[in-house]
Structure 1
Amino acid sequence: MRITLVSDADLVNSNYRGYQPLMVLSRRGHDITFTRLGEPRYRASTLLQSDVVHIHRYTDPELLQIVAQLRDAGIGVVWDNDDDLTAVPRSNPNYRKFGGPANRARIQAALRRTVTAADVVTTPSELLAAQYRAAGADDVRLLENYLPPEFGRVKPAKHDGVTLVWLAGLEHQVDYQRLRLKETLVRLLDAHADLRVLSIGLGLGLPSDRYEHIRQVDFLELAKGMSAGDIGLAPLADIPWNQARSNIKLKEYAAAGLPWLASPVGPYLGLGEKQGGELVPDDAWHDVIDRLIVDVRRRRKLAKNAAKWAKGQSIEDHAHLWDSAFRDAAQRAKRRAL
């Protein structure tokens, strides 16, 4: 089957929602074309040679014109999104582009047009799946984010002391502020002389020589970059934007051999000790982290559970779900064209 991906390579999400699953399908014999940022996104001559076109996030008028051509030509369209672009908070770097009532109305209208034009809609979020069904999408599939094979080859790195790791994009500034985590982390660093804090992505501004900030890590190096940690942090403020997230951050920590602590919000609800971590109420972050820092036995037990969970969360083991979505979209398009 000939599948063409249309995505933005600058979005880390596009790895999980397109590039990595299609790399697995390519190794299984599918003919894959990657059309990503920096190239002509909508070269009709390329897209019209496909059996299926897989689109991550784009909803602009130019795209919808192409989708109409694809439908007329009997080519399947799979559209995917993994963020609630109607609920972007003010602290988000993309607020000017997506936030506010005027943008919300525009985005909602574009989403309705897009999901009703697609043969299959995919998302890792139950909340977004419900939104797309309500908007008129015929076939919406909940497909979680899964781990690339490179993450499964990482082994925990030996090190002294205890290291807290927070892998966080800039949009997590709202979580850092609302949950008062700077105050919490400063208190913990003061109380534990062997404690270190590492943040990847978001800078935390901690006044300590035992705090390290790494601005960016290549996607396939994420698990390796966290492998010298001991505890992964996944705090989320209880706001609409966070309700539509995926649970991939916990899987990333688990692949790196880290037990995790997360907020009982959105995608993390229902996860816990079996998956290698604990859910932490908003007012308990200091106490729960403090307890896990000193409880080596508990950390080891959770790390063992996390590693076991991560082994079952590989893209390769779940690529058949994407394959099914693409095949069904192609078959639906062919029936429509008859």
Structure 2
Amino acid sequence: MDRHPAAPVERCAVTPYGRGAGSSRVRVFGWLDRVDAEFTVGSYLSQPDASPARLARHPLAVARAEARLAALARSRPRRLLLHREASPLSRGWWEERLLAGAEFAVYDFDDALMWDHGEGGALRRLAPKSAKARLAVRRADRVVAGNAVLADWAASHQRDVVVVPSCVDLADYTPKSRYALHDPPRLGWIGSRGNEAYLLPVAAALTEVHRRTGARLTLVGTTTPTLGALEAIVDRVPWSTAAQRTALAGMDVGLMPLPDTPYSRGKCGYKLLQYAAAGLPAVASPTGVNAELLTRFGMPAPRTPDEWTDAVLGLLGAHPDTRARTGRAARATTARAYSYDAWLPAWTAALELDTGARAPAGRPAPEPAGRGRTR
């Protein structure tokens, strides 16, 4: 955390990751950068993730982070925004203390944490996210969910639930201006190492597209190979703010395959929004909120490997003007319906930072939160 609160803190935001992690950057820092209200921000280790391996490498930093959470809980902040979890080691005690101690507490989540039961290694199983997500939803005065799937679940445990999608800033992406195919064509994917495995179920389709067109796959994320035989057609670009800004515009077709599982159905479609922000035509699985986004963007929604092959080949074989119309229309839709500018009034109203803020058309601002929590 940034400092030890010795006196009551007016406004505090708590997140398990630093600004370098996509979830915290999008759901916390992206909003705080746009409001005048001053927040004390606590981001545990201020690292891109809080994986067991990273925690094990920094035991003293972990001890200090836990001590700072104790100090913050004692300070009883007047307004608290808690994103996902307070501590990766907590089984709910920090989340309960922080949310119960604040005068007005908002819990924000953007993944199906309620279906995360600690799958993985031994350390991961010690602190599953499902139970503490349920506790946090019940203890908060208000819940901000990233999509309707998450909101529907939260509403069974909390009477005050608001949907605010994960938003993009179009200024963070260089808009695509050239829609003639590269030679060879460039398929693209952006994301973290942990999510690269989603490409494996469509590996045969991508290999077939490569066989027919010579297309290669550009991955913006980690430089560590994780995709086995598919790596033969992969070109890797390390993630950075600069790479994210420019790389998508240099692709021909974006990709977002997802399995149809409960956890995946809770995702917020952020990768697809990134492609749209850059004006990049894309192919994605119609899982969860992706189905709505693909319909609004007019983009293919394949389910089977054969459908993936046909969808990608269809976009690559389309006239450049067709790809341009699709990409530019998606960018315009994103600016109107999924940007920070569009949703800022709703977000500030959800945190009661600006009682005069109005939600975007068709999405009424949330009613003032009742002070009685669901215990």
Q: Give the TM-score category using the shorter length.
A: 0.7 to 0.9
What are the ranges of 5 or more consecutive residues in structure 1 without an aligned counterpart? none
Per the alignment, residue 80 of structure 1 pairs with 108
What's the secondary structure of 1:109's corresponding residue?
helix
Q: CA deviation at 1:285?
A: 0.5
Q: Which amino acid aligns with 1:77?
A: A
The aligned counterpart of 1:239 is 261
Which residues in structure 2 correspond to 1:55-204 (within 5 Å)? 55-58=82-85, 60=90, 61-70=93-102, 75-88=103-116, 107-134=129-156, 136-148=157-169, 150-151=171-172, 154-156=174-176, 160-161=182-183, 162-177=185-200, 179=201, 181-193=202-214, 195-201=215-221, 203-204=226-227
Aligned partner of 1:252 in structure 2 is: 274
Distance 1:217 1:308 in 2: 25
The verdict on how the C-alpha distance between 1:221 and 1:42 changes in structure 2, with shifts beyond 3 A counting, is farther
Distance in 1 (alpha carbons) for counterparts of 2:208 and 2:259 = 20
The 2-side partners of 1:24 and 1:17 are apart by: 12
Shift of 1:315: 0.8
1:124 Cα deviation (Å)?
0.8
Is the CA contact (8 Å cut-off) linking 1:259 and 1:303 kept in structure 2? Answer: yes
What is the CA–CA distance in structure 2 between the aligned matches of 1:209 and 1:107, rounded to whole Å? 36
Query: TM (normalized to structure 1)?
Result: 0.81
Which letter maps to 1:68? Answer: A
Q: What RMSD in Å do the two structures reach over aligned CA positions?
A: 3.2
Deviation at 1:286, TM superposition (A): 0.7
Structure 2 stretches lacking a partner, 5+ long: 1-8, 47-64, 356-367
Greater CA deviation, 13-22 or 32-41?
32-41
SS at the partner of 1:42? helix
Where 2:69 maps in the other structure, the secondary structure is coil
Aligned: 1:298 with 2:290: no
Task: Provide the rounded CA distance (Å) in 1 between the counterparts of 2:322 and 2:186.
Answer: 15
Partner of 1:17: 27
Give the C-alpha shift of residue 252 in structure 1.
Answer: 0.2
- Read off the aligned partner of 1:229 and give its amino acid letter: M
Question: Distance between the aligned counterparts of 1:237 and 1:210, measured in 2?
Answer: 22
Q: Per-residue deviation at 1:48?
A: 3.6
Residues 274/121 of structure 1: CA separation in 2 closer, same or farther (3 Å cut) = closer
Q: How does 1:22-33 map to 2 (within 5 A)?
A: 22-25=32-35, 29-33=36-40
> What is the DSSP-based 3-state SS (H/G/I as helix, E as strand, rest coil) of the residue aligned with 2:168?
coil
Deviation per residue, 1:90-142 (Å, 9 max, x gap): 9x8x565556xx97xx64432332222111111113222222222x2121111
Check whether the contact 2:192–2:221 (CA below 8 A) recurs between aligned residues.
yes
| Letter of the structure 1 residue corresponding to residue 316 of structure 2 | I
**Secondary structure at the residue paired with 2:293?**
coil
Tell me if the contact between 1:276 and 1:303 (Cα under 8 Å) persists in the aligned partners.
no
Partner deviation per Cα, 1:171-225 (whole Å, 9 max, x = no partner): 4355333x3x2222222222213x23111236434567753023x4125742422
Per the TM alignment, residue 232 of structure 1 is displaced from its structure 2 partner at its CA by 0.6
**2:53 aligned partner:** none
Paired residue secondary structure (1:77): strand
| C-alpha distance in 1 between matches for 2:317 and 2:100 | 59
* CA distance 1:267–1:334, shift in 2 (3 Å): closer
In structure 1, the partner of 2:61 is: none
Q: Which has the higher contact order (CA 8 A, sep 6+)?
A: 1
Quote how far apart the aligned CAs of 1:301 are.
Answer: 2.1
- Counterparts of 2:242 and 2:210, CA distance in 1: 30
Residues 165 and 126 of structure 1, relative CA distance in 2, 3 Å threshold: same
1:268 aligns with 2:279: no
Specify the alignment match of 1:52 in structure 2.
Answer: 79
- Partner letter of residue 212 of structure 2? A
TM-aligned CA deviation for residue 258 of structure 1: 0.4
The residue number in structure 2 matching 1:6 is 14
